């Protein structure tokens, strides 16, 4: 590792913000700072659409920092770079030592320059030609190819220094967590809800989770699995609270008093009421579910209308137009897939009707539900709620 090595984080969508761009940048810098706490001590500042992350000591773990920055929402790309003096000689020398390994494995290369400092005496093209010419002499086995090179050497001229870096890797994109308000996500143990939570966090939403347990029908392993899913999301979302709400009594009351074809719908209506109760206490302004249109009987358009009927908060459904293959693809990418497919039952699968209603009539469902003391059941379940703080 070069002792001078640092990270350049390119801002994504944040740069499109107008007057409130500064607050987005401040939030992003704070999120980066929080993520890097475990990697060592860093100087972090933002200038000209780039966050500069410089290690303050030799003990900083640059590998871990590089990986961590790729998971911060709001960062479009991450590059490892080395600063040097703003002269052609210094830039060439730095490229030779810092990127020597890359040159050893490359067949062709080009130099791409950018000048954020317009007082620099050469244009970007002149600088690229000067640096490229000297590097071509230093590495005669590597040909210049400006169209499709196997290695691109990036040179940036900024206020104080020039920076030399190899190609950046993609960041997580999106908006900084915390800029999109707070929402409560209904987290089951399946594939969908961790992905929908991740997608809303990527839009800057700060999450609290709610999970329903039905002992003895659901096991401790099922709850542990959900807490593990929440923990796997924390690198992206930051630490979060998982509210665990007892659901056994509600399910048993539904089974005793309501028609079987409406079990799932009435159960989901209770989940929405309880999630809204948690959201009001948490100061959250929306609910998030992992529903995808037509995926199961309770996710037809009519059924979604029936479940949403009982809440006043907006219900965000980021997966609504996605199919299972796309959802699985994201779950693999974000690291939740292997945990999601562990075989522990959650409360959705405990009382599944044999013939669920796919085109339910709202009035009929309300009528079926009127056999229950809804308010008392909701109040009792919320009073039994406990919570767990999950950290990375």
pLDDT at position 239: 92
| 60 pLDDT more than 60 | yes
**Tens digit of each residue's pLDDT (9 = 90 or more) over 236-258:** 999 999 999 999 999 999 999 99
Instruction: Give the contacts of 368 (CB within 8 A, at least 6 positions apart).
Output: 258, 259, 262, 266
> Mean pLDDT over residues 168-173, rounded?
96
pLDDT at position 353: 87
**Tens digit of each residue's pLDDT (9 = 90 or more) over 17-34:** 888 889 999 999 999 999
> Mean pLDDT over residues 286-313, rounded?
93
For residue 1, what pLDDT band results from cuts at 50, 70 and 90?
Answer: very low
- Which of these, 290, 286, 95, lies nearest to 187 by C-alpha position? 290
pLDDT at position 296: 84
| 315 pLDDT more than 50 | yes
| 371 pLDDT more than 70 | yes
CA distance 263 to 255: 7
Peptide bond into 216 cis (omega under 30): yes
- List the structure tokens of 209: 């989770």
**Tens digit of each residue's pLDDT (9 = 90 or more) over 74-87:** 999 999 999 999 99
In 3-state terms, what secondary structure has residue 389?
Answer: strand
Q: pTM of the prediction?
A: 0.92
| 107 pLDDT more than 60 | yes
Q: Do the beta carbons of residue 176 and residue 32 sit within 8 Å?
A: no
> Mean pLDDT over residues 99-103, rounded?
95
- The four Cα atoms 67, 201, 333, 290 give a dihedral, to 10 degrees, of 160
Q: State the DSSP string of 269-282.
A: HHHHHHHHHHHHHH
**Tens digit of each residue's pLDDT (9 = 90 or more) over 113-123:** 999 899 999 99
pLDDT at position 344: 80
For residue 48, what pLDDT band results from cuts at 50, 70 and 90?
Answer: confident
CA distance 220 to 349: 15
């Amino acid at each position: 590792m070069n002792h001078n090595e640092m990270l350049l984080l390119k801002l994504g969508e944040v740069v499109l913000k107008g007057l409130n761009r500064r607050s987005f940048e401040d939030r992003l810098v704070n999120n980066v700072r929080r993520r890097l706490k475990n990697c060592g001590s860093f100087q972090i500042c933002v200038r000209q659409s780039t966050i500069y992350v410089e290690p303050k000591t030799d003990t900083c773990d640059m590998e871990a920092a590089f990986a961590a920055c790729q998971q911060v929402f709001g960062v479009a790309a991450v590059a490892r770079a080395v600063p040097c003096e703003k002269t052609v000689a210094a830039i060439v020398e730095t490229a030779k030592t810092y990127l020597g390994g890359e040159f050893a494995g490359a067949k062709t290369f080009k130099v791409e320059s950018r000048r954020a400092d317009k007082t620099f005496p050469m244009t970007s093209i002149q600088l690229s030609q000067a640096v490229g010419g000297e590097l071509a002499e230093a590495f005669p086995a590597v040909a210049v190819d400006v169209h499709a090179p196997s290695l691109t050497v990036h040179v940036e001229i900024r206020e104080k220094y020039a920076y030399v870096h190899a190609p950046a890797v993609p960041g997580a994109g999106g908006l900084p967590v915390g800029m999109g308000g707070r929402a409560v996500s209904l987290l089951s143990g399946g594939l969908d809800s961790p992905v929908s939570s991740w997608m809303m966090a990527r839009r800057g939403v700060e999450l609290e989770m709610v999970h329903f347990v039905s002992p003895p029908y659901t096991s401790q392993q099922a709850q542990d699995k959900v807490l593990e899913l929440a923990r796997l999301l924390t690198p992206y979302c930051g630490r979060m609270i998982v509210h665990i709400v007892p659901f056994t009594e509600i399910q048993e009351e539904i089974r005793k008093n309501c028609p079987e074809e409406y079990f799932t719908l009435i159960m989901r209506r209770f989940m929405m009421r309880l999630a809204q109760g948690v959201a009001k206490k948490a100061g959250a302004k929306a609910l998030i579910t992992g529903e995808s249109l037509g995926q199961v009987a309770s996710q037809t358009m009519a059924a979604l209308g029936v479940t949403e009927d009982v809440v006043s908060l907006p219900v965000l459904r980021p997966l609504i137009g996605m199919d299972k293959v796309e959802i699985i693809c994201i779950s693999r990418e974000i690291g939740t897939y292997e945990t999601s497919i562990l075989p522990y039952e959650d409360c959705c699968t405990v009382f599944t009707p044999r013939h669920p209603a796919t085109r339910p009539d709202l009035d009929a469902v309300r009528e079926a539900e009127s056999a229950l003391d809804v308010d008392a059941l909701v109040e009792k379940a919320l009073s039994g709620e406990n919570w767990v703080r999950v950290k990375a």
